[in-house]
Amino acid sequence: MTEMYRSQKSIDTDPILDVRNLTVTYRTGQGLVYTVRDVSLQIAAGEIYGLVGESGSGKSTLARAIVRYLADNGQINSGSIKLGNTDLLTLPMSKMQKIWGSRITMVHQDPAAAVNPSITIGEQIAEVARLHLHMSSSQAREKALEMLRKMRMPDPESVAKRYAHQLSGGMLQRVVIAIALTTNPELLIMDEPTTSLDVTTEAAILDLVRELLTEYNMAVLFITHNLGVVANICNRVGVMYAGEIMEEGTVRQVFNHKLHPYTRGLLGCLPKVTNDKRNVSLSAIPGFIPRMNHLPSGCIFGPRCKLVEDDCQAERPSQVEAEAGHFTACRRWEALQSNPDLLMDVQQVRDMDEHEEGPLVFTASNIKKYFDVTASGFDSLFKQSGTEIKAVDDVSVGVRGGFTLGVVGESGCGKTTFARCIAGLEEATSGKMELEGQLLPYTVAKRTSAQKKRIQMVFQNPDASLNPHYTIGDSVSRPFVLMGDLSKEEIQMRVKELFSAVNLPEDYINRLPHELSGGEKQRIAIARAMASEPTMILCDEPLSSLDVSVQAALINLLIKLQDSSKISYLFISHDLAAVRYISDWVAVMYLGRICEIGSSEDVFLPPYHPYTEALLSAIPVPDPDVQQERIRLEGNVPSPIDLPSGCRFHTRCPRKIGEICEAQEPPWQDVSDHHQICCHITLDELRTMQSEVIVGQADTLREVR
């Protein structure tokens, strides 16, 4: 490993950040762990360098090593880090600390943790100016306002006087960026800065970062797991895997030519907004990221690579410059270069039934769920009614047998509450639910055992969905035990069948949940839900905590199970691409209401509801060549306690036509038999003002159709 030096890179200007052959280790109970191995990267001024990788890739460790802010058991073993002409590794810690916050600044995932809750926003920015720029108090205050203005904060004077808890996540992240830029740093490190934000907010923040870069001539290290974000904002990108950089180059080079099997795998995993399960199947990367204390010999990606040869395992391949500025750590890059479709060809056309409408197995009509915020316990005796949160307000959907209804929306739109009402975990306030023609009581306690079996749920957090005290075999067999009429052997058999259906080896049966990865736990959760042979499974953000390569495998699994057992899904997600891919029908939710519903092809083509249009325009598409309409939403999502009158979207709607939107609830309009939009603008007008939001992806829907 130590012998490996990459050829000198051709960077026209001197890089601001120059990291060479950096190796970082952690001392752990299992010995020394090489978390980052021999990584080199350079970032020039005015450049955004995207570092992408899945969890365990070592990307955050790398960032921490660059600022020498490792955990106590971490250590930089070899390599060099230079910031301009300063050698950061030889600097005494006291000098290093002066660099933090002035020459190098950081923006983290959770803005709330980065801002002091008890000091006003303006004071905090001013403090930085006083400390690092040695400004007087009044100058510093002026500087703070100027920074807020640059962040395109509406009404910076009032924001400066507010405290952290009075700002939304997106606003807060702008504040953190403002603090980071106050000192005019040479290097800005952004570690998953948009991961905790909604997609519309994310888009706005990315726009902001892009614009600011033209003004501040700094180097940006942008760490993310989201390939779409990288394609959107970065100039160059390094793909990291298990502690090493697999491929590096400009965004176009890496996304369009993809000279490493891992990059191809990652991009093949991603559902695209323009694809669905009928025309393309996702290619998951088999296997797991290696444990850092059990690294394979030779190519680190070897055990999971479809192109692996004996030579790959003999020696660790060194980085090759395949074209100017485009590096790959794959020995067989020439094979990849000559065949751009190699490894991508698994995206084959699926052979699926054409749309034949199955019978309606489940209908929910006018479901409402109001939470009473004030009254609970003792209080409920004295207070009659408190303030209400209208989490779900008059939602009606139908689910057909063997089909998937996707529900998309940003956080707080009520999609999860809706699913929990259907499951009976929340008691709906009013409305009617019918399952296979039978009226369904509101709470699970009141449902018959036959009804309980027919609706199951897969939860968001795989870590919480299995009882840590039971083996996963116990967890999966419990539904069979409950049926009461199966012998031990039969149960054993059924459990084994389920294990093979979700592609888990049988010898996992005796394992405890903590011995499984997140993706495996989610498979078990699916297996358990399948056990009672339900009519419908409610999937509540089942993918959101998983890495993309794991997501792909899980999506494939859900589709396979649907194919074989004609099960229906209600698939809830904030990820439009995943919803588009897996769903036959899609409902778009905003503030407790559905604003557009239809077959998934139709919803993702114009005419759109203005909100759907904005969502589509905000999603980061993992393809730098894609042209995306740029529609950005202003302001924050209103509070569900104090809902806007008329159309709920009117406070942010870019297409608002006037008073009528504020005064009257918009009507439902039928675009076709299976596509409805709830808006005051007539369909013809929508058609003329809208064009397709996402254009230019290689396999657009039109072509497939």
Partner 1 sequence: MATMQINQEYIQPKYLAIWKKVRRNLLTTIGFFVVVLFLLSAVVGPLVVPYDYAEQNIEQRLQSPSVDHIFGTDEFGRDVFSRVVMGSRSVCVIAGTGAALAVIFGLVIGLIAGYWGGLLDDVIMRLMEVMMSIPGLLLAMLVLFSLGSSFYSVILVVGFMYIPVVTRVVRSVVLDIKTRAFIEAAKLRGESIRYILMREVLPNVLPHLAVEASMRFVYAIFMVASLGFLGLGVQPPTPDWGFMVSEARPFYNNAPWIIFFPAASIAILVVGVSFVSDGLRKMLLPGGVSSD
Binding site for ligand SF4 (CB under 6 A): 261, 299, 301-302, 305, 307-308, 312, 317, 330-332, 610, 647, 649-650, 653, 655-657, 661, 666, 679-681
- Are the C-beta atoms of residues 410 and 197 closer than 8 Å to each other? no
CA gap 199, 182 in Å, rounded: 26
Q: Which does 13 bind (CB under 5 to 8 A by kind): ligand SF4, partner 1, none?
A: none
The phi, psi pair for 181, rounded to 5°, reads -95, -10
* Binding track over 409-428 against partner 1, x by CB under 8 A: --------------xxx---
* Binding track over 232-271 against partner 1, x by CB under 8 A: ----------------------------------------
- In the complex, minimum distance from the CB of residue 126 to ligand SF4, in angstroms, rounded to a whole number: 39
Nearer residue to partner 1 within complex by CB, 227 or 491: 491
- In the complex, minimum distance from the CB of residue 293 to partner 1, in angstroms, rounded to a whole number: 8
Collapsing DSSP to helix, strand or coil, 704 comes out as helix
Nearer residue to ligand SF4 within complex by CB, 212 or 677: 677
Region of 194-202, 239-247, 444-452, 674-682 interacting with partner 1 (CB under 8 A): 444-452
Instruction: Tell me the C-alpha to C-alpha distance, in Å, between residue 100 and each of 41, 66, 180, 224.
Output: 20, 11, 10, 21
Category of 109 on φ-ψ map: left (φ > 0), alpha (ψ -120 to 50) or beta: alpha
Category of 258 on φ-ψ map: left (φ > 0), alpha (ψ -120 to 50) or beta: left
List CB contacts of 134: < 8 A, sequence separation 6 or more. none
Member of 461, 492, 545, 669 binding partner 1 (CB under 8 A): 461
CA gap 171, 7 in Å, rounded: 43
Q: Which does 228 bind (CB under 5 to 8 A by kind): ligand SF4, partner 1, none?
A: none
Nearer residue to ligand SF4 within complex by CB, 317 or 598: 317
Member of 228, 271, 479, 606 binding partner 1 (CB under 8 A): 479
- In the complex, minimum distance from the CB of residue 591 to partner 1, in angstroms, rounded to a whole number: 24
Question: Cα 287 from chain centroid?
Answer: 21
Q: Which does 11 bind (CB under 5 to 8 A by kind): partner 1, ligand SF4, none?
A: none
Helix (H) or strand (E) holding 82: strand 74-83
Nearer residue to ligand SF4 within complex by CB, 53 or 542: 53
Q: Which does 580 bind (CB under 5 to 8 A by kind): partner 1, ligand SF4, none?
A: none
- In the complex, minimum distance from the CB of residue 491 to ligand SF4, in angstroms, rounded to a whole number: 42
List CB contacts of 545: < 8 A, sequence separation 6 or more. 460, 461, 462, 518
CA gap 304, 578 in Å, rounded: 24
- Are the C-beta atoms of residues 247 and 39 closer than 8 Å to each other? no
Nearer residue to ligand SF4 within complex by CB, 442 or 611: 611
The phi, psi pair for 543, rounded to 5°, reads -105, -15
- Are the C-beta atoms of residues 235 and 251 closer than 8 Å to each other? yes
Asked whether position 465 contacts partner 1 by CB under 8 A, the answer is yes
- Residues in 511-540 at the binding interface with partner 1, rule: CB under 8 A: 511, 515, 525, 528-529, 532
Q: Which does 68 bind (CB under 5 to 8 A by kind): ligand SF4, partner 1, none?
A: none
Instruction: Select from 463, 457, 465, 701 the least CA-distant residue to 572.
Output: 457
List CB contacts of 125: < 8 A, sequence separation 6 or more. 143, 144, 147, 148, 160, 175, 178, 179, 182
Collapsing DSSP to helix, strand or coil, 110 comes out as coil
**What are residue 75's DSSP bridge partners?**
25
Member of 113, 119, 482, 698 binding partner 1 (CB under 8 A): 482
Member of 17, 199, 237, 457 binding partner 1 (CB under 8 A): 457
Nearer residue to partner 1 within complex by CB, 149 or 511: 511
- Residues in 272-291 at the binding interface with partner 1, rule: CB under 8 A: 288, 290-291
- Are the C-beta atoms of residues 273 and 577 closer than 8 Å to each other? yes
- In the complex, minimum distance from the CB of residue 651 to ligand SF4, in angstroms, rounded to a whole number: 8
Nearer residue to partner 1 within complex by CB, 39 or 527: 527
Instruction: Tell me the C-alpha to C-alpha distance, in Å, between residue 559 and each of 314, 521, 571, 586.
Output: 39, 18, 12, 16
Asked whether position 696 contacts partner 1 by CB under 8 A, the answer is no
Asked whether position 381 contacts partner 1 by CB under 8 A, the answer is yes
Q: Which does 650 bind (CB under 5 to 8 A by kind): partner 1, ligand SF4, none?
A: ligand SF4
Member of 30, 136, 348, 688 binding partner 1 (CB under 8 A): 30
Asked whether position 468 contacts partner 1 by CB under 8 A, the answer is yes
Strands 31-43 and 17-28: antiparallel
Hey, what long-range contacts does 477-484 have (CB within 8 A, 24 or more apart)?
477/531, 478/528, 479/453, 479/528, 479/531, 479/532, 480/531, 483/532
Contact positions vs partner 1 (CB under 8 A): 28-30, 288, 290-291, 294, 296, 303, 376-378, 380-381, 423-425, 444-445, 449, 452-453, 455-457, 459-461, 464-469, 475, 478-479, 482, 510-511, 515, 525, 528-529, 532
